[in-house]
């Protein structure tokens, strides 16, 4: 019976790793659950592939990574190089968005094995090597390639046998051994490999996104509050006037909470009260009324044509609009009337409203994915996403995805990606770590994190190290949010304006993706009550017009930090983050460098918003590419001040009342 190319008979041993020859292939990375899910990359990435490749005995192996992108028919390949301890590595360019596959092909390299033995014997002083050189000559003569290559290999074989040529007389033993290792000869052999016993690994998936999936600065705001009064809503036309200022601050993504009609049944009033006034607008997440549901615009905001113009205006400012996708309805939503079977019913026949004990959300019905009409339900949800894609939306912030079935998300995202590989999904899941990671594995492009509650030096170092230096980085793209309409941390409540600067610097420079909720630049920090993370007079329940012309606004500082992010490519990555030692528990020091240890940037932050702090920081100079230099410049990109630093240990003093952080561009003098 014929077997596939590169295969082997069962007599020689099977393996779950693929079609096996004599070479063993293990521990391939990037790999998520051994290929069950796709690892993630960004267009333009050099995807680094590693694997353990080895075989029995003293024979040496060779290996390549084979890869295939969207619409590719043939496999392309790049060589793998041996590092240490049988670990091989290589890379390939991900130059298109969409689904990729890659695998490892390895084989016994008989010439390299022969050459290794020859060089060792020669170095040991062995002078009787004619037999060994004859073996090498025969290996060259059997290698197939283009005519020019075969001619060159034949000449090399003649030389190894000690035959004179027209250019020189009979070669010496040293010359023959030297010729066997000639780089040009080795390159010719590498270009025409002899794969007599190929081992082919299983294929692994890779999903490649556009850059904003990893590197993006988000700004969340309620369009109804722009141009509003305390009792009347603003419109998309009013909200469009805010876009220029958002773009000027340096943001990429404008995220809008739900823009759909809002139900009146059980509507919540100001500060989540149960007795709303007629002018209270209701919670945007209570989606649906007689004016429509998930594919409708709240009439106070305007029409679908007004929304289209809002999206177009954002594009003119190089901003992308992200929409909230919340799978829940108000009791007034058309689905509640037309498809009551999509909801869970209590014994008394009423539909079960949402609860997160002790919190009650009487104005919201969750969807029941255990419905007997599951197929119709999920088809409708897919239709919602595709509707907004048809109106220019390519980024969806998904509300509470951890409360919906994981198979549904995997199905939906893969379905959308078939036609729209540029579509992206942000997971808003503040829940158990394994659930958050599972959502990322099955297709979510970006994920909310616990950053808001990581405030101490140890908390930040431990958490960010987990995100950036473990296999989590292959599939989980963190988004660090300083605040949200639901999250006003105690740190911001009590720390005053310095705390806002500190958290902004940490969010924006630790993570390639981060976000703020509007009002952050005005230092909004009054809680509903002590111990609560809810805002007093929360915008979720009322219109909130703001004075954006406040001279004390943090906007200029935000603009500066976002400009630093954009101008220094090191901040576009996460794997390149390293922490450095500081003597103070209140001083956090970390760096990011570009590939090749170039253009290092060092960030030092005083985590104490109330007091100045000082410390010695001890730098890992090799990580920064500065181990062989003398004094070097540390130029502060925030204050435009320059310092001359010497060696690894340097003194830092930061007063949060002045500036709580250094962002230092390091450069050899």
CA distances from 619 to 372, 568, 644 (A): 61, 20, 14
Q: For the chain, how far is it from start to end, CA to CA, in angstroms?
A: 69
308 is catalytic: no
Task: Give Cα 12 distance to the centre of its chain.
Answer: 42
The DSSP call for residue 172 is P
Residue found by looking up tokens 């130059």 in the block:
95
DSSP assignment letter at 62? E
Choosing from 399, 474, 524, 539, which is the catalytic residue?
A: 399
Element (H, E) at 361: strand 359-361
Phi, psi of 227 (to 5 degrees): 75, 10
Q: Report the distance separating Cα 266 and Cα 646, nearest Å.
A: 66
- Non-local (6+) Cβ contacts of 214 within 8 A are 42, 446, 477, 512, 513, 572, 574
From the CA atom positions of the chain, what is the Rg in Å?
31
Q: 320 vs 225, 314, 395, 536, CA distance in Å? A: 20, 6, 8, 30
119-128: long-range contacts, CB 8 A cutoff, minimum separation 24: 119/177, 119/180, 119/181, 122/173, 122/174, 122/177, 127/173
- What whole-number distance in Å separates Cα of residue 455 and Cα of residue 515? 17
Q: Cα(79)–Cα(59) distance, rounded to whole angstroms?
A: 19
- 425 strand-pairing partners: 396
Helix 130-142 to helix 147-160 angle (10° resolution) is 170
Question: Hey, is 53 helix, strand or coil?
Answer: strand
3-state secondary structure 483-497: CECCECCHHHHHHHH
Strands 424-428 and 446-448, how do they pair? parallel
Instruction: Tell how far CA 16 is from the center of its chain.
Output: 30
Catalytic residue among 45, 428, 539, 659: 428
| Distant-in-sequence, close-in-space partners of 415: CB < 8 Å, separation ≥ 6 | 382
**Residue that the structure tokens 């590419």 belong to:** 625
Query: 308 near 241, Cβ under 8 Å?
Result: no
Q: Is the bond preceding 519 in cis, omega lying within 30 degrees of 0?
A: no
428 is catalytic: yes
Provide φ and ψ at 492, rounded to 5°.
Answer: -75, -40
Phi, psi (rounded to 5 degrees) for 489: -75, 160
Task: Tell me the angle at which helices 173-180 and 130-142 cross, rounded to the nearest 10 degrees.
Answer: 30
DSSP secondary structure letters along 319-340:
-EEEEEE--EE-TTSHHHHH-G
Start-end of H helices in 534-668 = 555-567, 621-624
Phi first, then psi: give them for residue 433, nearest 5 degrees.
-55, -40
The owner of tokens 């009347």 is 232
> Which sign does the torsion angle of CA 319, 324, 330, 334 carry?
positive
Q: How far apart are CA 594 and CA 623, in angstroms?
A: 11
Residue 430 half-sphere exposure, CB side, CA atoms within 13 Å?
A: 10
Separation of alpha carbons 28 and 201, rounded Å: 9
Which residues are catalytically annotated?
A: 399, 428
């Amino acid at each position: 019976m014929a077997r596939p190319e590169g295969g082997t008979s069962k007599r020689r041993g099977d393996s779950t790793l693929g079609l096996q020859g004599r070479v063993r292939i293990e521990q391939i990375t990037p790999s998520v659950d051994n290929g069950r899910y796709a690892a993630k990359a960004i267009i333009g990435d050099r995807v680094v592939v590693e694997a353990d490749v080895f075989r029995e005995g003293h024979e040496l192996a060779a290996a390549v990574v084979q890869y295939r992108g969207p619409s590719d028919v043939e496999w392309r390949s790049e060589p793998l190089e041996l590092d240490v301890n049988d670990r091989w590595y290589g890379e390939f360019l991900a130059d298109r968005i969409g689904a990729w596959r890659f695998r490892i092909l390895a084989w016994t390299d008989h010439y390299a094995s022969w050459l290794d033995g020859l060089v060792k014997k020669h170095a040991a002083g062995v002078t009787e090597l004619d037999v060994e050189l004859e073996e090498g000559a025969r290996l060259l003569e059997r290698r197939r390639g283009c005519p020019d290559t075969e001619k060159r290999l034949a000449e090399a074989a003649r030389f190894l046998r000690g035959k004179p040529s027209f250019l020189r007389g009979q070669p010496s033993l040293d010359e023959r051994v030297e010729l066997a290792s000639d780089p040009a000869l080795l390159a010719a052999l590498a270009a025409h490999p002899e794969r007599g016993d190929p081992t082919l690994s299983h294929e692994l998936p890779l999903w490649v996104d556009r850059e904003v999936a990893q590197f993006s600065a988000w700004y969340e705001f309620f369009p109804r509050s722009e141009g509003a009064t305390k009792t009347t809503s603003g419109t998309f036309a009013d909200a469009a006037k805010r876009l220029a200022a958002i773009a000027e601050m340096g943001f990429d993504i404008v995220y809008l909470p739900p823009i759909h009609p809002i139900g009146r049944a059980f509507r919540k009033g100001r500060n989540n009260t149960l007795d709303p006034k007629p002018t209270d607008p209701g919670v945007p997440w209570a989606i649906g009324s007689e004016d429509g549901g998930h594919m409708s615009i709240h009439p106070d905001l305007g029409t679908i044509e007004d929304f289209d113009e809002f999206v177009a205006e954002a594009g003119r400012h190089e901003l992308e609009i992200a929409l909230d996708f919340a799978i829940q309805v108000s009791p007034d939503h058309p689905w509640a009337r037309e498809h009551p079977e999509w909801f869970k019913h209590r014994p008394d026949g009423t539909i079960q409203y949402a609860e997160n004990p002790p919190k009650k959300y009487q104005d919201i019905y969750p969807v029941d994915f255990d419905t007997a009409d599951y197929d119709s339900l999920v088809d409708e949800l897919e239709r919602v996403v595709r509707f907004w894609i048809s109106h220019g939306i390519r980024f969806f912030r998904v509300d509470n995805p951890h409360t919906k079935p994981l198979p549904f998300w995997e199905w939906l995202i893969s379905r959308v990606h078939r036609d729209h590989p540029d579509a992206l999904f942000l997971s808003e899941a503040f829940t158990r770590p394994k659930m958050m990671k599972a959502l990322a594995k099955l297709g979510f492009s970006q994920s909310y994190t616990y950053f808001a509650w990581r405030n101490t030096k140890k908390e930040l170092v431990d958490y960010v190290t987990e995100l950036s230096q473990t296999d989590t980085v292959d599939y989980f793209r963190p988004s660090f949010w300083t605040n949200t309409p639901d999250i006003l941390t105690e740190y911001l409540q009590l720390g005053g304006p310095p705390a806002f600067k500190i958290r902004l610097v940490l969010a924006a420079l630790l993570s390639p993706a981060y976000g703020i909720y509007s009002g952050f630049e005005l230092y909004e920090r009054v809680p509903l009550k002590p111990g609560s993370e809810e805002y007093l007079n929360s915008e979720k329940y009322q219109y909130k017009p703001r004075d954006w012309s406040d001279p004390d606004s943090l906007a200029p500082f935000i603009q500066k930090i976002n400009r630093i992010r954009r101008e220094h490519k090191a901040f576009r990555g996460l794997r390149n983050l390293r922490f450095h030692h500081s003597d103070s528990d209140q001083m956090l020091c970390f760096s990011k460098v570009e590939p090749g240890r170039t253009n290092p940037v060092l960030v030092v932050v005083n985590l104490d918003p109330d007091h100045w702090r000082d410390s010695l920081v001890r730098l890992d100079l090799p990580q920064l590419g500065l181990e062989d230099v003398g004094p070097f410049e540390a130029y502060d990109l925030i204050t435009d001040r320059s310092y001359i630093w010497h060696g690894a240990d340097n003194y830092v003093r930061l007063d949060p009342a002045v500036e709580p952080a250094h962002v230092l561009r390091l450069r050899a003098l």
